[in-house]
Amino acid sequence: MFKVLIIDNEQNAREVLSLQLLRWCKQSELIGVADGVETGLALIKEKQPDIVLLDINLNDGTGFDLLRRLEQIRFKLIFVTAYDHFALKAIKFSALDYLLKPIDPDEFDRAMKKALSTLESENQNLKLNAFFNNFKYISQEARKIVLHTANSIYLINVSDIVRCQAENNQTIFYLSNGDQLLTPKTLKEFDDLLSGFQFMRIHKSHLINVNYIERFDKLNNYLLVLKDKSVVPVAVRRKNDLLEKIQKL
């Protein structure tokens, strides 16, 4: 049995999560609920949960305050939160799992299945270090992203990403040091995540970091040459947007 702990300052949310857990999985056991940092810390130390459903806003602080007081995270973490653009962006960059309030049963099912399937394999502390960095710094220069490959988890500076390329339903990351990483997510997911951080979708299969543009060859089928000497096609409908972006650099 997997031991699950709920830490949320809203009674209704605690009841909904408890009910979802009861309905969802006979492999899991709810070992306690808490509404704050102090009560949550006490239960974590006493019960040693496998999974913690943690609200961001608690009665006596935040979920982040709780996490900072733990020397080592030995459980799988799922954030539970009302929509907060900045916090949610930091969570996504750090590849942490989350549930948005009000809780959707299908999303709860997805999050729990993922948590149970990765209990032994994921480095939660690496992801949390990335999260705290991303929550503190909003600029691209300081922001980090957690990338999964088939065999490893990487913590990458966003500013070191030259471009991303679609590979079926996966994405290849090309880094400034010449490394390439194949991740199991679609290019659209990374487009949504990296937009606003000097990244631009210039083709259905290509997302580029505009800081690495070397030149745009308008006479040769709209080809973009990047500083790593890679040559990337530009879709005709993206040409004007790209030219406008280049002029602002």
- The span from the CA of 53 to the CA of 45, in Å, is 15
The pTM score is 0.79
CA distance readout (Å), 175 to 194, 196, 236, 243: 15, 19, 26, 24
Specify which residues 33 forms β-bridges with. Answer: 6
User: Model confidence over 182-216: pLDDT tens digits?
Assistant: 999 999 999 999 988 899 999 999 999 999 999 99
Helix (H, G, I), strand (E, B) or coil at 167: strand
Can you list the domains of the chain with their CATH numbers? 2-134 (3.40.50.2300), 139-248 (2.40.50.1020)
User: Model confidence over 85-125: pLDDT tens digits?
Assistant: 778 888 888 888 999 999 999 999 999 988 887 766 567 78
User: Model confidence over 222-241: pLDDT tens digits?
Assistant: 899 999 999 999 999 999 99
Using 50, 70 and 90 to split pLDDT, how confident is the model at 248? confident
Q: What is the average per-residue pLDDT within 44-66?
A: 94
Q: β-strand 223-226 against 231-233: which pairing, if any?
A: antiparallel
161-172: burial string, b at 16+ Cβ within 10 Å, e else: bbbbbbeeeebe
pLDDT of residue 209: 97
